[in-house]
Structure 1
Amino acid sequence: MSVPDGSLPPARFSAQNRSRALQADIMELILDRDLKAGDALPTEAELTQALGIGRNTLREALKVLQALGVVEIRHGFGMFVAPANFDALADGLTFRGRLSLRHEGNEALQLVDVRQALEAGLIGEAMDLSTPEHLAEIEGTVQRMEALADSGEGFTEVDQTFHFQLFEPLGNELLLNLMSVFWKVYRKIHLELGEDPLISLVETAAVHRGIFEAVKAGDKDLASERLRRHFDGIRAQLTKLRDAP
């Protein structure tokens, strides 16, 4: 039986649906039993009986869930609910972003949009919780950035520290994990595009100084606007790629 190009035969499609349903069943079992990160899962024998499936089918589903960061399989010890791990998300988004650069760059541009919205949208709340001591730490990071720029050295790690410090007062672990994911993705896309020859290290450091000064002054609108403008360079590069004939 022929099928349209790019589509799956009915049997294959059905098998994929069953596999996804089984993965969902395992996740529901974890939730129903109120397991938390680090807790042991039931044994293979218990899972096969509870789910009404064979051992090989179970193992295939567990491999997928391990890749997704839901379960952790420790050979010789058993299976456990995995701790928070965003590596799979970072890898997937990085691939999609870099792949889009070979075409029109739409997904890469969307990823930059999300990071921009995340930082510019939450900076006001973070500012409300900032203390003079925390602001002093951020200023120290800016000063390190400026010193490195003056000596002609790159400061990628210091740059990352600066952005993380801005939002530390929120105490939101999920936000910091997502920022870490988007930082990794953004950095890969940035390296793929190449450094913008129109922006020097000193200018980049000055942009961060401007963001900090707005935060220190308590001007939420200005801080948000300067964070949005911080992404203008890579946005222009991606837009040019998208609009190229």
Structure 2
Amino acid sequence: MKPIERISVTDMTVQNLKELIISGNIKIGDKLPTEMEICSALNISRSTVREAIRVLQAMGFVEMKRGKGAFVAKVTEDDPTHIIKWFVEHEVQVTDFMEVRMGIEPLGVKLAIQRATPKQISELEEIHANFEKAMEGQDVVALLTNDEAFHKHIIKATQNNLLISINQQILDVFAEYRSKSFTIKEISKNALEPHRKVLDAIKRRDIDAGVEEMAKHINGSIEDMLDMAKKMSVHNKTLYKQLYPQLSKTLSSLVK
């Protein structure tokens, strides 16, 4: 299916660019090759390059400067402690994001079940299959792209242009949140079964089950982050005192 092929090419492009960044051949602050240079080197389209840059930006490796291009922002993976700190420092944005997701995504599932074409459901099945493969290989980039594709494809199936537009704005603004959360193995692993249940409800055209499973999925992702912060804090008393109580209050207030 074309959507899956596009994701695969994007994944490979991200991996290539990421390897270039962490290789040590370029430094923080250096400018990446231009879109056209990357297109020529990898024999890919400009849209694929832009998607790959967007993923790298979400992962924190790249910073975009208006009118100048993409620049290297970091050259190493995030330490788990730094990820938790990021969630605390951005608690307002995280709260906003999860609250909006709770409003939009269950509605998206409801409309998708009512309106999705057989082709769209088949494409969603393939996206989920790719997510499973990424999970087996612990490929963070593929997990990130396929998770976003799964949720995005559901909203697309609603055939509601305003909802699709709003969802895209949310994805753009909170891309870093998704990338941070998926670097934590337990959180990405716990997304697999909820995705399967949501997909199953869509295939059966069961609106009640679909809405319920999506709500559980969102709440589960909040609880996973809270649980991970607690486990990490137990082994780091400073982190516990400084970060966990605040993160706990923020995330617990979101769980229904």
User: TM-score, normalized by length of structure 2?
Assistant: 0.49
Q: CA deviation at 1:134?
A: 1.7
Q: Distance in 2 between matches of 1:169 and 1:183?
A: 16
1:1-245 map, 5 Å = 101-102=88-89, 105-154=91-140, 155-192=143-180, 195-201=183-189, 203-236=190-223, 237=225, 241=247, 243=249
Structure 2 distance, partners of 1:140, 1:191, is 21
8 Å CA contact 1:125–1:170 kept in 2: the answer is: yes
Note the aligned Cα RMSD (angstroms).
3.2
User: Are the aligned partners of 1:112 and 1:186 in contact in 2 as well (CA < 8 Å)?
Assistant: no
CA deviations on 1:126-148 (whole Å, 9 max, x unpaired) are 21111222211111111111112
Question: Which of 1 and 2 has greater Rg?
Answer: 1
User: 1:217 and 1:240, CA in 2 relative to 1: closer, same or farther beyond 3 A?
Assistant: farther
Q: Output the CA distance in 1 between the equivalents of 2:87 and 2:184.
A: 19
The answer to whether the Cα contact below 8 Å between 2:144 and 2:179 also exists between their aligned partners in 1 is no
Distance 1:101 1:181, change over 3 A: farther
Whole-angstrom distance in 2 between the partners of 1:115 and 1:127: 18
Specify every segment of 5 or more residues in structure 2 that has no aligned partner in the other structure, as ranges: 1-84, 227-244, 251-256
Q: Quote the offset at 1:169 in angstroms.
A: 2.9
DSSP 3-state at the match of 1:198:
helix
Flag the structure with higher helix content: 2
Whichever residue aligns with residue 241 of structure 1, its letter is L
What runs of 5+ residues in structure 1 fail to find an aligned partner?
1-97
Matched AA of 1:140? E
Alignment CA distance shift 1:167-1:200 (3 Å): closer
Structure 1 CA distance for aligned equivalents of residues 130 and 194 of structure 2: 14
